[in-house]
């Protein structure tokens, strides 16, 4: 029978399998980044708490991992490792501003891309960008990688990559979108929000994964 500690260990192993920290794993599933923090795992008397069933379910659904697979991972069976092998293209954020690396829909098309590996799942036109510098702190740091999906539905509150027709590439939080206007909040609170006309945007795609 799985214990409290087993489940928490499984969450840590799952994060490691997907090259993420427990905090990044939580963010990938749309949860508060502190959901799986060490401080949340024990009560004041030192006894382990169970993680929220809803939180665990969201993580497994996001990663397309069944509870059976998760239980096998906890028990030491490395079934998830077999899924790690799908290759997706990778560029730095600055290189993403080049004219010949995306098609008009925001899908990667150039031979200039490098590659990283991602677990199996829906991967059509996914691509990765690597952050350089600290302009996007505290959310993203130098060396962090984001996985972007041109096909994913976009909603208010999503973190997105926007490429303008002028060639500027921005990583921001979407606060409003209409047929004519897009409003974006900076990840770094020191930077002002942006309001763009839709006619000035080449494409906008949702960030579905942050690897730290």
Q: Is the pLDDT score of 65 beyond 90? A: no
Is residue 72 located within the same domain as residue 91? Answer: no
CB-side exposure of 21: number of CA atoms within 13 Å?
A: 12
Q: Is the pLDDT score of 116 beyond 80? A: no
Is residue 166 located within the same domain as residue 125? Answer: yes
Is residue 196 located within the same domain as residue 131? Answer: yes
Is residue 35 located within the same domain as residue 104? Answer: no
Confidence bin at 184 (pLDDT 50/70/90): very high
What's residue 77's pLDDT? Answer: 54
CATH number for the domain harbouring residue 100: 2.10.109.10
CA–CA distance, 191 with 135 (Å, rounded to integer): 9
Is residue 140 located within the same domain as residue 164? Answer: yes
Which one, of 196, 188, 207, lies nearest residue 134 by Cα?
Answer: 188
Q: Is the pLDDT score of 152 beyond 70? A: yes
- Residue 115, domain extent: 84-211
Is residue 69 located within the same domain as residue 105? Answer: no
Is residue 88 located within the same domain as residue 36? Answer: no
Is residue 72 located within the same domain as residue 172? Answer: no
What's residue 84's pLDDT? Answer: 42
Segment 8-27, tens digit of pLDDT: 888 888 877 666 778 878 88
User: C-alpha distances in angstroms, 21 versus 2, 13, 27, 66, 108?
Assistant: 22, 10, 10, 20, 27
Is residue 48 located within the same domain as residue 105? Answer: no
Segment 72-103, tens digit of pLDDT: 777 765 444 444 446 678 888 888 988 888 98
The fraction of the chain above a pLDDT of 90, given in percent, is 24
What's residue 81's pLDDT? Answer: 43
CATH number for the domain harbouring residue 23: 1.10.260
Segment 187-200, tens digit of pLDDT: 999 999 999 999 99
Is residue 27 located within the same domain as residue 116? Answer: no
What's residue 202's pLDDT? Answer: 94
Is residue 129 located within the same domain as residue 96? Answer: yes
Q: Is the pLDDT score of 165 beyond 90? A: yes
Which one, of 176, 162, 145, 143, lies nearest residue 206 by Cα?
Answer: 162
Is residue 31 located within the same domain as residue 112? Answer: no
Tally of domains in the chain: 2
What's residue 175's pLDDT? Answer: 96
| Radius of gyration from C-alpha coordinates of the chain | 18
């Amino acid at each position: 029978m799985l214990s409290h500690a087993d489940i928490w260990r499984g969450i840590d192993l799952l994060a490691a399998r997907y090259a993420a920290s427990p905090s990044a794993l939580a963010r990938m599933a749309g949860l508060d980044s502190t959901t799986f923090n060490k401080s949340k795992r024990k009560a004041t008397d030192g006894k382990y708490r169970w993680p929220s069933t809803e939180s665990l379910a969201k993580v497994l659904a996001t990663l397309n991992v069944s509870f059976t697979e998760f239980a096998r991972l906890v028990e030491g069976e490395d079934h998830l490792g077999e899924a790690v092998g799908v290759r997706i293209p990778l560029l730095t954020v600055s290189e993403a501003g080049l004219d010949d690396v995306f098609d008009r829909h925001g899908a990667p098309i150039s031979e200039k891309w490098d590659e990283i590996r991602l677990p199996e799942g829906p991967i059509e036109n996914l691509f990765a960008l690597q952050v350089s510098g600290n302009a996007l702190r505290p959310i993203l740091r130098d060396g962090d990688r984001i996985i972007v999906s041109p096909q994913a539905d976009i909603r208010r509150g999503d973190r997105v990559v926007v490429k303008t027709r002028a060639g500027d590439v921005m990583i921001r939080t979407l606060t409003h979108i209409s047929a004519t206007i897009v409003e974006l909040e900076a990840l770094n609170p020191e930077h002002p929000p942006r309001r763009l006309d839709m006619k000035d945007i080449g494409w906008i795609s949702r960030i579905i994964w942050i690897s730290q």
